[in-house]
Structure 1
Amino acid sequence: MSRRITLVLLIGVLAAGVVGCGDTSSGTPTAGSSTTAAQALFNPCTGVPDEALRKAGVDPATEEKGIAGVDQSGWEICRWKGSRYSMTVFSTGRTVAEFEKKPGNVEFQDITVAGRDGRQFRVEGASKGLLCDVLFSAPQGVIQLRVSNLAGLDHHEDPCTTLYRVGESIVPVLPR
């Protein structure tokens, strides 16, 4: 019985905490509010046209929102598959500097894809040779383009080489 009461009280406190996170002030939300930042994120699932996806070598019908279909707070994520690789576009309010400080993100370098300056990096670990990521500054924070070689296949092209090619059709449709 006391566990049940404790559980009910804990749920009540947690619910109050979640409700307490909302902005109850009147007027226009400020640029720093989480509501505005979430609303301002570019949605790659709706913002990248099917024609650009096909040119990039991925199938629009394979679209997967979020990570394994699960939305991630503070992110808009969409992934598509091709015959040898998948491509993911991430949109977040984070900064390039935050990515550079994250342990496991390595080999940062300035690059240009489709005429747009970006910051390429790799993720340390077993998948390092399968992934390539490029960050592009955007009004809401960062747009991240990732190419992932499919692990079960032989004779992969370097994922960054693939990313540059894929980027020719994808990068022009991303917000600047």
Structure 2
Amino acid sequence: MGLRTIADHIMDITQNSFKAEAKKITLTIEENKNWFCFQVEDDGCGMDDEQLKTVFDPFYTTRDHRIRKFGLGLPFLKQAAEATGGAVEIRSAKGAGTVVKACFDTNHVDCQSIGDLAGCLSTLILSATDVELQVNRFKDGKTYFISSGELKKYLPDFSSVKAIKIVYEIIEELEESIK
């Protein structure tokens, strides 16, 4: 599986925040007729200056090298964004968390498709068992906000088939409401 859509990149970067033991993650997605930008901000373990210098090196990873010797998520994200004239920015501090922001020119011929955003967001929210995940979505002046904490109040059994279906349908409806 590769990172074929922008939704795949959102999934990958947000999962990095889960792995960084974040307790709060804020995912902000802004879209207009020309640009698609997303930002993932977490309060996880963060990175020191040495780690920050190597985040775009595909042969650098914080994972156990017996499992995987490289990390391609951030290098692929950077390549995909820059291919459209966009950019990726990262800010981080050890013990204070990380912010990753990526922007894509959606009119550029090399821009990946956005992909299944409703599927991506519902999967992330349902995966946020020990994390508060807040999604802030903006598109052409329309907005919606949704959080795993709020959904858990109404759907305490997040792992049930019924909850999975309901969360997906809610996000699908929210996405429809901003078209």
Superposition TM-score, scaled by structure 1 size: 0.30
Superposition TM-score, scaled by structure 2 size: 0.29
Q: Please identify which structure carries the higher strand content.
A: 1
Greater RCO, 1 or 2 (C-alpha within 8 Å, sep 6+): 2
